[in-house]
Amino acid sequence: ALGLATPTALMVGTGMGAENGVLIRDGAAIQVLEGADVIVFDKTGTVTRGAPELTAIRPAPGFEESELLGLAGALEDRSEHPLGAAIVTAAKERLESLPAATAFEAVPGMGVVGNVGGRDVRVGSRRLLARDEIPTDDLVAEAALLEDEGQTVMFVAVDGEPAGLIAVADRVKADSREAIQVLHELGLETVMLTGDNARTAAAVGASVGIEDVRAGLLPGDKVEAIREIQESGRTVAMVGDGINDAPSLTRADVGIAIGTGTDIAIESADMIVVQGSLMGVVKAVRLSRATFRKIRQNLFWAYFYNTIAIPIAVLGLLHPILAEAAMAGSSITVVANANSLRRAPIDG
Q: What is the tens place of the pLDDT at every residue in 158-167?
A: 999 999 999 9
Q: Structure pTM?
A: 0.73
Q: Over the range 4-33, which residues count as b (16 or more CB within 10 Å of their CB) and which as e?
A: bbbebbbbbbbebbeebbbbbeeeebbbbb
Strand partners, 214: 193
Kindly list the distances between the CA atom of residue 193 and the CA atoms of 18, 174, 252, 261, 285, in Å, as whole numbers in the listed order. Answer: 28, 20, 13, 17, 20
Element containing residue 239 per DSSP (H, E): strand 236-240
Kindly list the distances between the CA atom of residue 177 and the CA atoms of 113, 135, 240, in Å, as whole numbers in the listed order. Answer: 35, 38, 16
Residues 332, 334, 340, 341, CA torsion sign: negative
Nearest-angstrom CA–CA distance, 169 and 150? 7
For residue 187, give the nearest of 28, 36, 22, 17 by alpha carbon: 36
Q: Name the residue with higher pLDDT: 21 or 182.
A: 182
For the segment 164-181, the average pLDDT, to the nearest whole number, is 92
Taking only the tens place, the pLDDT of each residue in 2-56 is 677 778 778 888 888 888 889 998 888 888 999 999 999 999 889 998 788 899 9
Residue 253, Ramachandran bin (φ over 0: left; ψ between -120 and 50: alpha; else beta)? alpha
Q: Which residue among 26, 37, 42, 77 is the active-site one?
A: 42
- Does residue 42 have an active-site annotation? yes
Q: How confident is the model at residue 1 (pLDDT cuts 50, 70, 90)?
A: low
Taking only the tens place, the pLDDT of each residue in 112-150 is 999 999 999 999 999 999 999 999 999 999 999 888 887
For residue 159, give the nearest of 69, 57, 71, 64 by alpha carbon: 71
